[in-house]
Structure 1
Amino acid sequence: MMRTYALIIMKPDALENELVEPIIRRFNEHHFQIEMIGFKRADEKLILTHYAHVVEKLGDSFKRMAIAAFVGQAMIPIILSQDGDQAIANSRALTGATDPTAAQPGTIRGDLGTDSFENADREERCCYNLIHCSDSTESLLTEIKLWFEPETYEVFAPLISSVG
């Protein structure tokens, strides 16, 4: 059977609220396997590269908010795999909508999220939505290269590319 891959990144609010284990458990319950766990204390270059597409879309205000929210913060990237060809779609469905108040019950953000875009906008900050989830094979490869050591990328890139 074919295996496909996904990437999630535990954001600072997941770590601060001790939700790493419950979130990983959710993925395990949905037949995801952990392939690699990393750890990064994000610097400005990493965050601005990771969020470049959002900064391009939303501009300098988002850039400032992302720097304030993530630079210097601990984050945990996790490469997951799942049987079948839908690991990215399934991981995104399990994660739920980016705005926790719009996320369905049964999703990670719907059940564990406590913030909203409305509160974040009012307070001029990024929304605390627990985890990042890659949205395509292309972003998966780009983000693994950003968040993991080169050796990890060298191992996973051929596996992902062969099914992507």
Structure 2
Amino acid sequence: MKQRADRPGGVLGNVDWSRWSVVLLKPDCVRRQLTDQVLARLAPVARIVHQQSLVVEDWQVFVHYWDLLVDQDWLDVDVPTCLRNAYVGQPVMVALAYGPSGTPERLRALLGHFDPARALKGTIRADLGTDSLDAARVDQRLVENLVHTSDDAQAACRDFGTWFGADQYKHLFPEFEET
């Protein structure tokens, strides 16, 4: 089955991105060996159809965190340097989650506030997180909060391109994968 982008710059056509989310298990999650536990907490909402480990390249983290680079004036840190220090050359795990329409939003609700110290009990970041925005600011770094999932359908498409690439489209059609 050959798939191609439906518009210039598009990752793939014929994909209902509202049913997909890219899960980024960040360096702190990998370092603390929490990847299986975090994925298990996401599983009731969406099926993990593929996962892989990789080492982060600078372009990936800069594309992924484009919003921090654009709005870095609200942070009291050197965002590019902090991103390089926290991610580049570090192992992460990325996973593809598939579920009903609205999957990105449903998964985001399980994460909790980006600052683990402010996340509600019962969310992944509250229950498993050990960092806080206050501590990160004192140390002049970004907060460690274990996991990212795509914000919405558009972000899922962008995240897929960043962390997997269009050449891995077969994972978006799991019914066609060999077992």
- Asked if TM exceeds 0.5, the reply is yes
Equivalent pairs, count: 154
Q: Counterpart of 1:38?
A: 52
Could you say which residue in structure 2 is the equivalent of 1:81?
A: 98
Cross-structure match for 1:107: 123
Instruction: Letter of the 1:146 partner, please give it.
Output: T
Structure 2: runs of 5+ lacking an equivalent: 1-15, 174-179
Q: 1:38 aligns to what SS in structure 2?
A: strand
Q: Give the structure-2-normalised TM-score.
A: 0.80
Q: Cα deviations across residues 45-86 of structure 1 (Å, max 9, x unaligned)?
A: 11111112211101571111111100000111111012x322
Larger radius of gyration: 2
Runs of 4 or more, structure 1, over 4 Å off, are: none
Q: 1:161 maps to which residue? A: none
Question: Would the aligned equivalents of 2:45 and 2:107 in 1 still touch at CA under 8 Å?
Answer: no
Percent sequence identity over matched residues?
A: 25
**Which ranges in structure 1 are unaligned for 5 or more consecutive residues?**
158-164
Contact in 2 for aligned 1:145/1:153 (Cα 8 Å)? no
Q: For residues 109 and 71 of structure 1, do their structure 2 counterparts lie closer, same or farther at Cα, with a shift above 3 Å needed?
A: same
From 133, 138, 141, the counterpart of 1:122:
138
The TM-score normalised by the length of structure 1 is 0.86
CA distance in 1, matches of 2:29, 2:55: 14
User: What is the Cα deviation at residue 43 of structure 1?
Assistant: 1.3
Task: Please identify which structure carries the higher helix content.
Answer: 1
Q: Does 1:67 align with 2:84?
A: yes
1:141 and 2:157 aligned: yes
CA separation of 1:87/1:64 partners in 2, compared to 1, >3 Å: closer, same or farther?
same
Amino acid at match of 2:57: D
Is the CA contact 1:7–1:133 (under 8 Å) kept in the aligned structure 2? yes
The alignment's C-alpha RMSD in Å is: 2.0
**CA contact under 8 A between 1:98 and 1:129: conserved in structure 2?**
yes
